[in-house]
Structure 1
Amino acid sequence: MSITPKKIVIFDDDEDILSICSYILTQQGWDVVTYTDCNDIIERVTTEKPNVILMDNWIPDAGGIIATQTLKNNDTLKHIPVIYFSANSDIQLLANHAHADTYLAKPFDLDDLTRVINKVLVVPVS
């Protein structure tokens, strides 16, 4: 039995956040794919088939709310957990409005990042 690597897609326009998250998650065995905008989101997520998605609120061009709603309204992709992350003080409200599975406030502790991802991670049963 081979173990499929866990894949996460991160949508954030902040290169520093992408760099830090990519480094940490790669060290934990994740296959990390990053995008600095949410254009063509259905095609990108369909191609990558991630286990988890991290979605920034202020992502160009449509924004995190529209991007997350687009994913959650797609029958093929709606099962993929979306973690909404933002420095906005209304993040819980924004995440609910977007229909995200959960949220993570920026700035975040790296342990919190791991905890939130593991909380929503759905590993397929082989």
Structure 2
Amino acid sequence: MSAAILVADDHDAIRDLLSRVLTNDGYAVTCVVDGAELLTISAGQTFDLVLTDLSMPKVDGLTAIRRLRMDANSAHLPIIAMSADLFTGYDALTAGANAFLEKPFLLDELLGTITHALRQTRDISPSHITQALANHPPTGVTLPRQRGVAWKQFPAASE
């Protein structure tokens, strides 16, 4: 069974490209045009990962990330934020995104980041993540190890 990815970006060309690339790589992709639609769709369907732009109309990506993290049903979802502005990447990581991709990014960076995010969360239950976030709100951000990619490190859940 392929992973289900929710893609949110207000630019048609980027949404279409991401949809084609991810579908060709075996993912089930649902695309939305803004943060409001992202929140509505994610409340009614199950996804394995969210890939969101940060600068969108109605509800921006940062607000959408914060709301996803506050909802027990989506608090466990890996979220990858995208933006051309490196400084908003830091904001996305502190808001709860697991990773940040600086636009423009290489498709190999995108696919590698998605694979890494899905592997990190495969064996972690949503209750462990919710408990870890409640006990230790995310504050630290790791610096990018490669151009345009940053990862947030969450504390391990205590048993």
Normalised by the length of structure 2, the TM-score is 0.71
2:96 equivalent to 1:99: yes
Alpha-carbon offset, residue 124 of structure 1: 6.5
Q: Which consecutive segments of 4 or more residues in structure 1 shift more than 6 A?
A: none
Provide the residue aligned with 2:13 in structure 1: 16
Q: 1:124 to 1:27 in 2, by over 3 A?
A: farther
Which letter maps to 1:23? R
* Equivalent in the alignment of 1:118: 115
Q: Secondary structure at the match of 1:84?
A: strand
Aligned mates of 1:96, 1:77 — CA distance in 2: 16
Query: SS in structure 1 opposite 2:86?
Result: coil
User: How do residues 32-71 of structure 1 correspond to structure 2 at under 5 angstroms?
Assistant: 32-71=29-68
Query: Which residue of structure 1 lines up, in the alignment, with residue 72 of structure 2?
Result: 75
After superposition, the C-alpha distances for 1:59-95 in whole angstroms (9 at most, x for unaligned) are 1212111110000011111000110100012143122
Q: Give the greater-gyration-radius structure (CA).
A: 2
Query: Structure 1 residue 97: deviation in Å?
Result: 3.1
Q: Which has the higher contact order (CA 8 A, sep 6+)?
A: 1
Q: Structure 1 residue 40: deviation in Å? A: 4.9
Unaligned runs of 5+ in 2: 125-159
Q: Percent identity?
A: 27
